[in-house]
Amino acid sequence: MRKRKTVGVPVQVYNLGSPAGAQMDFERDELWSRMDAEMGKKAVSLPVFLVNPDQMDMLYPPEYRRALDPERIRPLLQEEVEREARNRYREREPEEEEPDFFDRLQRSEADARGWTKYSKVVTVGLYFRLQQYNQQFRDSVLGKGDPSLRTAEAENAFLNHQAPAIFLCCERIVDWASRLGISHHLVMDKVYYHELGHAIMDTLPDGAPNPYLESWGRIVEESLANAVAFRCFRGREALWVQRLIQDQPAEYRGYAAAGQLLVSMLDVKFLRDWFREWLHEYDSYWWRRIGHRIEYALDRLERGAWHPEVARTLTEVLRNLLMPLTQIRSHERIDSQKITEWRRFKRRIARAEPWIHQAWKDFAKHLLIEGVS
Ligand SMILES: [Zn+2]
């Protein structure tokens, strides 16, 4: 008797031939009760395909197969922190041409050692626009699965779906859980939420340059997807999710730092005008002192120098003073604001100004430094 696994929830889950797929339980209340509206909206619209390791290795796009080993990049990050500390209070940018941080980072992943070390943990889940795979390719993916484990309905769903979908590699989920001695349900939920995070942030128009193909884009995207997953959990479970993230490569570890600082939403001119007016009205020693810090931060930002210190100053100010006047609503957490910003950036990436690109690169560097330290 073949039965659908999804009776009781309006979500399509199909096993394409993974023996461990039978252990993935989509009927558990806690899986759904941790979701907010945005995540639930994606969950009801995206099919989930359960696959075995051979199938996942075929499906995982070759251009995504990269990973930064935290141990290897730590010296590079340390150098960067020292260099930034030296430059922090310089008014002008350093004269000599400095080697680009991301070029150096890319060189350190070129030998694929990071990928070799982390591939099993990275290829545990995948969010992908399935329309990019042709029929022949899909047939060979099915060929790698155990046919006795799948229904005709599952085959049809996989062969005919022409939109994004989520893939979960059940054997790798179970392995990861047993390595840590925890429930595979918790690992499945974390991985599923993470992939739904990618779905929430999928705003890239067809044909636009994909920032994910560059290491800075991968760092922002993976850290934010982990931030989306992490905020679903509380207490003991949240702690285990943090332990799981410790097994992931460097790109994934900036989830905690992702919610601290704002990046690109600041309208510098608006802020400057507004702040000058404010200073004019509330003239006091304290305000003049704060005002000096803000003017300095705005100057830096306007020259295209997003820096953690600069963003920290402005974020503090915004949080305390400007909240009602800006686009941030006080009940919104900065990490959800950040996700909104990243979605907006990707939607308009082809037209984004160079300083916005630079701000995201600098933010990615900040995530990497905070995540790996
Ligand atoms: Zn991811």
Structural domain spans, the chain: 13-65+116-200
CA 91 / ligand 1 centre spacing (Å): 38
Please tell me the predicted confidence (pLDDT) of residue 223: 96
Q: Which of 21-25, 245-249, 330-334 has the lowest mean pLDDT?
A: 330-334
Query: For 281-318, how does the pLDDT look when each residue is reduced to its tens digit (9 = 90+)?
Result: 766 676 677 777 777 777 777 776 667 777 777 777 66
Using alpha carbons, select from 281, 228, 270, 275 the residue that is nearest to residue 252: 228
Predicted confidence at residue 304, as pLDDT, reads 66
DSSP string, 329-365: -TTS-HHHHHHHHHHHHHHTGGG--HHHHHHHHHHHH
Distance 218 CA to ligand 1 centre (A): 9
Give residue 320's pLDDT band: very low, low, confident or very high (50, 70, 90).
low
For residue 1, pLDDT over 50 is answered with no
Ligand 1 centroid from CA 206, angstroms: 20
Question: What separation in Å is there between the alpha carbon of 60 and the centre of ligand 1?
Answer: 12
CA dihedral 109, 114, 120, 124 (to 10 degrees): -50
Per-residue model confidence as pLDDT tens digits over 345-366: 999 999 988 877 887 888 899 8
pLDDT digits over 256-288, tens only? Answer: 888 766 665 445 666 677 677 767 776 667 667
What pLDDT score does 84 carry?
A: 76
CA distances from 230 to 189, 321, 371 (A): 10, 29, 14
Question: Which alpha helices (H) appear in the chain, and where do they start and end?
Answer: 29-33, 37-45, 53-59, 70-87, 101-109, 113-122, 135-143, 152-160, 170-180, 184-200, 215-230, 235-246, 268-281, 285-302, 308-317, 334-347, 354-372
Is 0.75 topped by the overall pTM?
yes
What's the CA-to-centroid distance between 219 and ligand 1, angstroms? 10
How many whole angstroms from 194 Cα to the centroid of ligand 1?
6
pLDDT at 230 over 60: yes
Distance between Cα 89 and ligand 1 center (Å): 36
Q: How confident is the model at residue 88 (pLDDT cuts 50, 70, 90)?
A: low
CA–centroid distance, residue 241 to ligand 1 (Å): 14
Average pLDDT, the chain: 86
Q: Is the pLDDT of residue 5 over 90?
A: no
Residues 6+ apart with CB under 8 A from 43: 11, 32, 35, 196
**What integer pLDDT is reported at residue 366 of this predicted model?**
87
- What is the model's pLDDT at position 326? 44
